[in-house]
């Protein structure tokens, strides 16, 4: 899933407890579906799961639950996190200078 979120909602990019719960549920279904398939290396392959909107916010990171498989936390799980900060450095189409010596800018990306 790429940035799973409640598209069009006022909380589209921040989510809420129900949103976090929904993404954790989808991650659980995904992991258990792959792990229960005995073909190939599905029992051991690395699986990537996101938090809500794949956000790097602390609220979202704290909400991520590693799925359980057979009553134990799933192994070989990678968390997908996207961070576009500072926005001017990552996403703008306009030329912007970035000064790594400016105190506020490096803190956004370190």
Q: What is the pLDDT of residues 43-74, one digit of tens each?
A: 899 999 999 999 999 999 999 999 999 999 99
| 81, HSE (Cβ side, Cα atoms, 13 Å) | 14
Residue 92: pLDDT over 80? no
DSSP reduced 3-state for 77: strand
Average per-residue pLDDT for the chain: 89
pLDDT given at position 102: 67
* Nearest partner of 50 among 88, 81, 28, 10, judged by Cα: 81
- The region of weakest confidence among 48-52, 95-99, 100-104 is 100-104
Q: Is the preceding omega at residue 87 within 30 degrees of 0, hence cis? A: no
State the Rg of the chain over Cα: 17
CA torsion through residues 55, 19, 60, 2, sign: negative
Please list the residues that pair with 48 across neighbouring strands: 78
Phi, psi of 53 (to 5 degrees): 55, 15
């Amino acid at each position: 899933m790429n940035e799973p979120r409640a598209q069009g909602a006022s909380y589209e990019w921040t989510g809420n407890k129900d949103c976090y719960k929904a993404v954790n549920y989808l991650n659980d279904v995904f992991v258990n579906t792959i792990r229960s398939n005995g073909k190939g290396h599905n029992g051991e392959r690395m699986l990537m799961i996101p938090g809500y909107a794949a956000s790097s916010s602390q609220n979202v990171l704290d909400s991520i639950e590693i799925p359980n498989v057979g009553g134990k936390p799933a192994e070989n799980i990678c968390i997908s996190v996207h961070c576009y900060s500072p926005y001017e450095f990552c996403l703008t189409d306009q030329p912007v200078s970035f000064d790594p010596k400016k105190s506020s800018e490096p803190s956004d990306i370190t």
